Chain A
Amino acid sequence: MDISLDVIQELAPDQASLNAAKKLIKPGKWPLLGKALSVNSIWGQCQGSGANPYYTMADVVDHGYKCTCPSRKFPCKHVLALMWQYSESEGDFGETEPPEWVNDWLGRRRKVNANSVDDSQPQKVKPALQKNIHTSQSDEIQTLSTEQQEKAEAAKLKRAATTKAKTDAAISLGLLEFQQWIADQLRTGVAGFIKQASDKCRRIAARLVDAKAGALASSVDELPALILDLTPQEQTDLVFKMFGQWVLLTEAWLANPDDLDARRAINMAEAREDILNNPNTVREKSVWMNVGEKIFTRRDGLVSHTTWLINSSAPKVSFAMLQDYYPASAGKREIGLGLGAAIEGEVLFYPSRFPIRGVIAEHKILTQSISPDWQPAEESLSTNFQRYMQALPWGDHMPFLLGAGRILRDSAQRYWWRGKDETTLLLKNHDIPKLLLGSELTWAFIVWNGLQAEIYSAHSEHWGVMAC
């Protein structure tokens, strides 16, 4: 069951895809490669431009494929690279049972009638473009002289500086308008705002988008969805909290538009390549365990995919957050690492006064499970939160590992955390499995926003790590 290079060439939509695929054929790009020839399948996780890896799989017989990347080319470069690697070094693929995400794909594929057209099957249409896998290049051809390159580079930098200055000016103006908008809400009454939150937020969010404050616009646009399920008192608390945070954030920008934390929260986060190439990036090499994942579609149509990792080998508990956004139109992509999965590798943190968000560099998936017997932080939640607020006064998602405790439920069907150390927190979760209510928990991983905790996972001595 081989895949020849000719087949891969035939499958490729164009020469550019082949070139791009060749660049991906590096062991460091593929933390996981596996095969199960009994089911004709190969798969791999490819570290793409997102924080979370892409899940790629293919059939070595009928050459069907699937990849979780948002590319609109079929097959994408990840599938081509996976097949290419299999073609040239099959030995790199470990023979194992297919993971759950491969099984899911296999289960769905079989429903396709052999006589009907299968989207995941290669189309037997001759491509109009000329492609040659043997001439694909992993690097751009250098056609410019050194002097020309220097000139081009200088011009590029100048253009970038001009663009940045224009963007900063536009954002500053937009933020002043936004502050005025907040003041207007206080003047006209927050009760009225809550009633019309959806329209009001959508309008000001559009203004912020025009002002190039895209990240802040998304946050504002999400507020109505956040307050939807809350009690009137909780709605008021949250609105005041968010308004206050936004004032602090905009003030931080107006004081220094080059503040990276403020810039990230208002404009946009840096590209993965910027983090990889930044000499000031904090790097942490360790064994990381996935303690929580959240995938949801925002009001602006983007799917937010968050993965929380805990550093298993550090003496003091620390976390990393992998955050990706992709358009909902790219299709359902609810494949993640899986709760409790462990990886060994390096996390590169975005430069920050309180580094949490990161991207994974070279890493490998560990097949053996690790013992999640972490000791919770010695300092209390409020001490940690105080430190967090000092660093990021507008922050509202601080990860924390709570020590032993139980989850309670009140008559209004709200959930509460009651720690053995008497910590009491209102939980944001609307639905918690009964198993967690009926377990003595040794730890619980939460994200705290100052008012409520969202519990992602918890551990009990008897039942191990459980998702919430």
Chain B
Amino acid sequence: MLEGRQKNDIETANEEVVHTERSFIELTKQQWMVGQQLPLQCHTLPENWQTLLAPVSDERLSISVLALASQHDAMLFNLEPPACSEVYPLLPQLSKPTLPSTLRGLFRRVMQHANQHDGLGCEKVIALLSQRGVTAHPADWLPNGREDNLPDEYLPWVSWSFYESTSSLHDELTEDNWDEWYPAARLQLLKNMRSFHPDKARDLIAARYLGEPADKRLKIIKVLSINLNERDVPFLSQLLEDRSQKTARQARQFLSRLNHYNPAEAVDEEAVELLSFLDVSVSGVIKKRIEIRPKSLKSKKQQAIRSELIEKVTLSQLAAAMDCSLDTLVESWMFDAFRLHDNASFLVSCTHELSGQAFQYLLKNLTAYHKKASSDDGFIEIISTRLSLEQRESFVQTSLLNHSGKLGFYNSACKLHMPLRDFTFQALKKTRAWKELVSGLKTDLTENGYVQAYYVEKEIAALGMLLPNNTAQEALEALITLGVLRADPVTEYLKLNIALPE
């Protein structure tokens, strides 16, 4: 008891001494800040210091006090963080395992190349990892919120990456905190929500979309294209009355995609005008088939008007004007007769408007067109959001194997979300793209000694993001046999592909 009291007395006395010394230091520092004209006197120092500094001459007293003060600060300096310090939410763990540490260096080099060069972009590399059942280490890569096409398993990281995009900490986007998110972050979160909870996302959009300006409203409404379903019909019908023409048109397209449109209501002057620019004929003797072709027009101005109308008129309106079903319309469109730009506009409408069944009719038509030597491959990208993985792969393979096709490896990889799962080296060697690559490579190696040509570099890198594991291995060996250095950085995409077993 007595010991405890003595201890308390000593602590109190020490605190008083420290307090006196701190006060003296603060005061002296204030004087030093502005300049101390009068020298310090020993008797003005705290008691303990007087004994310590008694032998020091007056001229040296100030620097001795400075030395003691610095020791004092070093031992007693203590800062409290401001109350508003934020605790960042923890980065969630993903459902797939992290890339093995032995491959992290290779992954970082590939990502660096993908970032620096106008290449395939980081998302393809991430998709390759996903296909092989692993995810990136967050110290090597984290989403920045600008990615459009990340594999689903990264969604927890996407939400996490938007943490700073709010004015305060929120776990998820809600009606109440809608205004506290930046528009880009809000849109991405809406897309995520729509992927997993379509009804919740639609209800949230319905509650808050009216407060947004027309351009942002349209972007928000477009989110409904993800998991579009029957339960969206009442809300979409309500959107037909929207004050923005573009939003109303988008709603009409969605309704059409869900087989909810009123042809009688859809007939309008522009659709009739478009029809007047088209040549609708019937071919076949036993099995009759309608064929829609562009009419020969007298001027470029008329052509431009037709192009504008194809872009503007919805398929439902055109079908209504033709008095046929949507299935018939898309089945009868003669792609090889129209200009590329008009085909692209038509396909954009198809992507937005067609129901599942009508879309299958379109695919049938496109598949037949794609087999023709003169076909263009640009359509794959336009309709890619409506294609299954298999359908996309099938179109790309057909394009590659089409001897007159111009699709190179880079463009093929761009059209795919992740590498092909079935494409042999024998098939690869037969492609026009491989032959062109080999020819370009030989010229490059002869002229430069190394791979330097931009085209060759881009094509070799793309192979790594295009081929299945075994074919990548064979392709790499073939390239090395042709003279590419095994250490050449362009081979690293292939090496990463090979190092990740399927």
A residues apposed to B, CB below 8 Å: 36, 38-41, 98, 100, 103, 106-107, 110-115, 179, 182-183, 186-192, 236-237, 240-241, 243-245, 247-248, 251, 369, 382, 385-386, 389, 393, 406-412, 416, 418, 424-426, 433-435, 437-440, 450-451, 462-464, 466-467
- Indicate if B217 sits at the interface (CB-CB under 8 A): no
Binary per-residue interface labels of chain B (88-115) against chain A in the complex, 1 for a CB within 8 Å, 0 otherwise: 1111010000000100010001000000
Q: How far is the CA of A188 from the CA of B35 in the complex (A)?
A: 4
* Contact of B448 with A by CB under 8 A: yes
B489 with A110: CB separation less than 8 A = yes
Report the separation of the CA atoms of residues A416 and B83 in the bound assembly, to the nearest whole angstrom: 12
A431-B412 Cα distance, complex, nearest whole Å = 39
Q: Are A466 and B487 in contact (CB under 8 A)?
A: no
Question: Contacts A39-B486, A187-B37; is A410 near B82 (CB within 8 Å)?
Answer: yes
Pick from A248, A251, A411, A467: contact of B82, CB under 8 Å:
A411
Q: Tell me, in angstroms, the Cα distance from A204 to B304 when the chains sit together.
A: 77
Contact B63 A186 (CB under 8 A): yes
A244-B69, A382-B75 known; A409+B36 contact, CB < 8 A: no
Judge whether A114 and B450 touch: CB under 8 Å: yes
In the complex with contacts A244-B69, A251-B67, A463-B139, A114-B74 CB distance below 8 A? no
Give bound CA distance, A41 to B137, whole Å.
29
- Indicate whether A440 sits within 8 Å of B90 (C-beta atoms), given known contacts A186-B62, A411-B82: yes
Question: Which residues of chain B (60-76) have a CB below 8 Å from chain A?
Answer: 60, 62-64, 66-71, 73-75
B501 on interface, CB distance cutoff 8 Å: no
Pick from A39, A186, A241, A385 the residue with the most CB of B within 10 Å.
A186
Taking CB atoms, residues of chain A closer than 8 Å to B487 are 36, 38-41, 98, 103, 106-107, 110
Contacts of B449 in A (CB 8 A): 113-115
A319 CB to closest chain B CB, in angstroms? Answer: 19
The answer, yes or no, to whether B80 is at the interface (CB within 8 Å) is: yes
CA–CA, A110 and B163, complex, Å:
42
Query: How many residues in B have their beta carbons less than 8 Å from beta carbons of A?
Result: 56
The answer to whether B88 and A409 touch across the interface, beta carbons within 8 angstroms, is yes
From residue 449 to 463 of chain B, which have CB atoms closer than 8 A to chain A?
Answer: 449-452
In the complex the two chains form, is B81's CB within 8 Å of A186's CB? Answer: no
Residues of B within 8 A of A (CB): 29, 32-37, 59-60, 62-64, 66-71, 73-75, 77-82, 84-91, 93, 101, 105, 109, 137-139, 142, 160-161, 163, 448-452, 485-489
Are the CB atoms of B70 and A240 closer together than 8 Å? yes
Q: Are A110 and B450 in contact (CB under 8 A)?
A: yes
The answer for the CA separation of A433 and B161 in the assembled complex, in Å, is 12
Closest to A395 in B: B74
User: Smallest CB-CB separation from B40: which chain A residue?
Assistant: A186
* Chain A nearest CB, measured from B485 CB (Å): 6
Q: Which 9 A-B pairs have the closest CB atoms?
A: A244-B70, A114-B449, A189-B35, A39-B487, A450-B74, A437-B88, A438-B91, A106-B487, A408-B85
**Residue pair B88, A467 in contact (C-beta under 8 Å):** no
Q: A244-B66, A385-B75, A416-B85 are known contacts. Are A111 and B450 too (CB-CB below 8 A)?
A: yes
What separation, in Å, do the CA atoms of A112 and B109 have in the docked complex? 20
Q: B90 to chain A: which residues have CB within 8 Å? A: 438-440
List of A residues within 8 angstroms of B68 by Cβ: 244
Cβ of B81 and Cβ of A408 under 8 Å apart? yes
Do A450 and B448 touch across chains, with their CB atoms under 8 A apart? no
Given contacts A243-B70, A369-B101, A425-B79, 5 further A-B contacts (CB under 8 A): A38-B486, A100-B105, A236-B33, A240-B69, A406-B88
* A408 near B70: Cβ-Cβ < 8 Å: no
Please state if A406 and B87 are interface contacts (CB–CB under 8 Å).
yes
Question: Are the C-beta atoms of A247 and B66 separated by less than 8 Å?
Answer: yes
A236 touches B73 (CB 8 A): no
Do residues B91 and A439 form an inter-chain contact, with CB atoms below 8 A?
Answer: yes
Give, as a whole number of angstroms, the nearest-CB distance from A35 to chain B. Answer: 13
Query: In the bound complex, what is the Cα–Cα distance between A450 and B85 (angstroms)?
Result: 22
How many Å lie between the Cα of A280 and that of B148 in the bound state? 63
List of B residues within 8 angstroms of A439 by Cβ: 90-91
Q: Which residues of B contact A114 (CB under 8 A)?
A: 448-450
Residues of A within 8 A of B137 (CB): 463
Measured CA separation A98–B33 after assembly (Å): 57
Asked, given contacts A107-B489, A463-B137, A463-B139, whether A190 binds B73 with beta carbons under 8 Å apart, the answer is: no
B267 to chain A, nearest CB (A): 55
Contact B139 A433 (CB under 8 A): yes
User: How many angstroms between the C-alpha atoms of A188 and B142 in the bound complex?
Assistant: 52
With A100-B105, A433-B139 as given contacts, are A410 and B87 in contact (CB-CB < 8 Å)?
no
> B488 near A408 (CB under 8 angstroms)?
no
Q: How far is the CB of A341 from chain B (nearest CB, A)?
A: 12
Taking the closest CB of chain B, its distance from the CB of A388, in whole angstroms, is 9
A376 and B160 CA atoms in complex are apart in Å by 30
Q: Contact check: which of B74, B105, B486 meets A241 at CB < 8 Å?
A: B74
Question: Which listed residue, A183, A369, A438, A451, touches B89 by the CB 8 Å rule?
Answer: A438
Report A-chain residues with C-beta under 8 Å of the C-beta of B60. 179, 183
Complex A-B: 23 CB contacts under 8 Å? A100-B109, A106-B489, A113-B449, A114-B449, A115-B448, A187-B36, A189-B34, A191-B34, A240-B32, A240-B70, A243-B70, A244-B66, A244-B73, A385-B75, A410-B86, A411-B82, A412-B82, A416-B85, A426-B81, A433-B139, A450-B77, A451-B77, A466-B139
- A183, A192, A369, A412: the one contacting B63 at CB < 8 Å is A183
Residue of B nearest to A110 (CB): B450
- Given the complex of chains A and B, what is the CA–CA distance between A412 and B83 in angstroms? 12
Given the known A-B contacts A186-B32, A409-B88, are A244 and B71 also in contact in the complex, defined by CB atoms under 8 Å?
yes
Partner of A438 from the list B66, B69, B88, B485 (CB cut-off 8 Å) is B88
Contacts of B81 in A (CB 8 A): 408, 410, 416, 418, 424, 426
CA distance A437 to B59 in the complex (A): 50
Most chain B CB inside 10 Å of its own CB: which residue of A39, A236, A434: A434
Q: Complex formed: what's the CA distance from A191 to B31 in Å?
A: 10
Contacts of B451 in A (CB 8 A): 110
Shortest Cβ distance from residue A210 to the other chain B in the assembled complex, whole angstroms: 21
Question: Do A393 and B71 have beta carbons less than 8 Å apart?
Answer: yes
Q: In the assembled complex, which residues on chain B have CB atoms less than 8 Å from the CB atom of A179?
A: 60, 63
| Contact yes or no, B67 A244, CB < 8 A | yes
Distance from A390 Cβ to chain B, minimum over Cβ atoms (Å):
10
Residues on A with beta carbons closer than 8 Å to the beta carbon of B486:
38-39
Indicate whether A247 sits within 8 Å of B64 (C-beta atoms), given known contacts A190-B32, A435-B138.
Answer: yes
Select one of B74, B87, B91 contacting A385, CB under 8 A: B74
**Complex contact B139–A190 (CB within 8 A):** no
| B contact residues around A100 at 8 Å (CB) | 105, 109
Chain A residues with CB below 8 A from B80, complex form: 424
Nearest A residue (CB) for B34 = A189
Once the chains bind, are A186 and B485 in contact (CB under 8 Å)? no
Q: Give chain B residues whose Cβ lies under 8 Å from the Cβ of A40.
A: 487
Chain A residue numbers with a CB within 8 Å of B32 are 186, 189-190, 240
**What chain A residues lie within 8 Å of B86 (beta carbons)?**
408-410
In the complex, A240 Cα to B71 Cα: how many Å? Answer: 10
Report chain B residues within 8 Å CB of A463. Answer: 91, 137-139
Contacts of B448 in A (CB 8 A): 113-115
B233 smallest CB distance to A (angstroms): 41
> Smallest CB-CB separation from A237: which chain B residue?
B73
**Is B87 touching A408 in the complex (CB atoms < 8 A)?**
yes
Chain A residues, Cβ within 8 Å of B89: 438
Q: In the bound complex, how far is the Cα of B36 from the Cα of A39, in angstroms?
A: 69
Find chain B residues with CB under 8 A from A408 CB.
81, 85-88
A243 to B485 alpha-carbon distance, docked (Å): 57
User: Which residues of B have CB within 8 Å of A41?
Assistant: 487
Among residues of B, the one whose C-beta sits closest to the C-beta of A411 is: B84
Min distance, Cβ B159 to any Cβ of chain A, angstroms = 12
Minimum Cβ distance to chain A for residue B9 (Å):
24
Instruction: Please determine whether A410 and B85 come into contact, CB atoms closer than 8 angstroms.
Output: yes
Would A248 and B62 count as touching, CB distance under 8 A?
no
User: What's the least CB distance linking A56 to chain B, in Å?
Assistant: 17
Instruction: Determine the distance from Cα of A244 to Cα of B29 in the docked complex, in whole angstroms.
Output: 12
Q: What CA separation (Å) do A456 and B141 show in the bound complex? A: 19
